[in-house]
Structures are given as structure tokens and as C-alpha cells.
Amino acid sequence: MKFAITDVYLFWWPVTVRMPDPEKAGKIVEQSFEAQFEALNEDQAHEIDAAFRNLESEEERRGHQHDVLRRVTKDWRGVLGADDKDQPFTADAFDLCLKQGWFRAGMYEAYRQAMAAEEQGDGPTAKN
């Protein structure tokens, strides 16, 4: 695959959420889905960091502490709602998930891996 220059680069990446098993005390269960991320360039990342640093109160910072995830996450697939049907990606659904520490940890780790170009999965590695 040849390198292509683009203003906006969107890609799908696997996300693994490790959380307490609801059935087995003291055990962890892994749940997976895919998120569509937008790669931020260096200027965009610095802009988000600067905006956060300029917030004046702790309350404002709490309200904006996960803005980077809100900015880079564009969609998801493989996420089920309470009715066991596909849950469409919406800002409200995403914010509800962000309230869980294990969800945030999985999302931050997935984005970090993607931006560090750490390939995932057991499939063949592309070396073009």
C-alpha cells in the first residue's frame, strides 16, 4: 500500500475493555468492539492540551478531561445496547460509556496503540 496524504485520516481499531465479571467474583472478563478513530496531527493534539490547561476550575477540568476521546472517536461497531441489539454511536451513548473507568482505559489504550502503530490481532502482517 502506498502512503497517501490526507487532511483527515479515519481508521478502525480494536478496543478491549477489561471489566469485573458479573458472574464470577474476583474475575475479569474482556469485551471487545471496534472504534473508528481520527488521527490527530501534532497541532490538533497541542490545541486540545492547551484548551484543557486554560480551564480555570477543577469542575471545568472534570467536565473536559476526556475531550480527546470525544474528539477522536467517530463511530463504533460491535457494541450492544441493553436490548442486545446493535447500539448506534451517539454522543449520549459514548458519554454514558465514558463514565466507566474500564471503558476509558480500553479506549485510551486502543488509541495509544494505533497512534504508536502497534499492530493488533493474529492475522498476517502487511509489510508493503
Read off the pTM: 0.81
Residue 120 is assigned to a structural domain of this protein:
no
Helices (H), 54-90: 58-64, 67-72
Residue 85 is assigned to a structural domain of this protein:
yes
Q: What digits encode the pLDDT tens for the residues 10-56?
A: 999 999 999 999 999 999 999 999 999 999 888 888 888 888 888 88
Whole-number pLDDT of residue 49: 81
Residue 74 is assigned to a structural domain of this protein:
yes
Is residue 125 over pLDDT 50? no
35 closest CA partner among 84, 83, 97, 82: 97
Residue 86 is assigned to a structural domain of this protein:
yes
Q: How many domains does the chain have?
A: 1
**Host domain of residue 94:** 10-115
Whole-number pLDDT of residue 121: 58
Q: What digits encode the pLDDT tens for the residues 48-82?
A: 888 888 888 888 887 777 888 999 999 999 999 98
Whole-number pLDDT of residue 126: 38
What residues are paired with 79 via a beta bridge?
none
CA angle at residue 98 from 21 to 73, to 5 degrees? 115
Residue 61 is assigned to a structural domain of this protein:
yes
Q: Could you tell me what percentage of the chain is helix, strand and coil, using 3-state DSSP and rounding each to the nearest 5?
A: 40, 25, 40
Hey, how many other C-beta atoms are within 10 angstroms of the C-beta on 16?
A: 14
Residue 128 is assigned to a structural domain of this protein:
no
Whole-number pLDDT of residue 106: 97
Residue 125 is assigned to a structural domain of this protein:
no
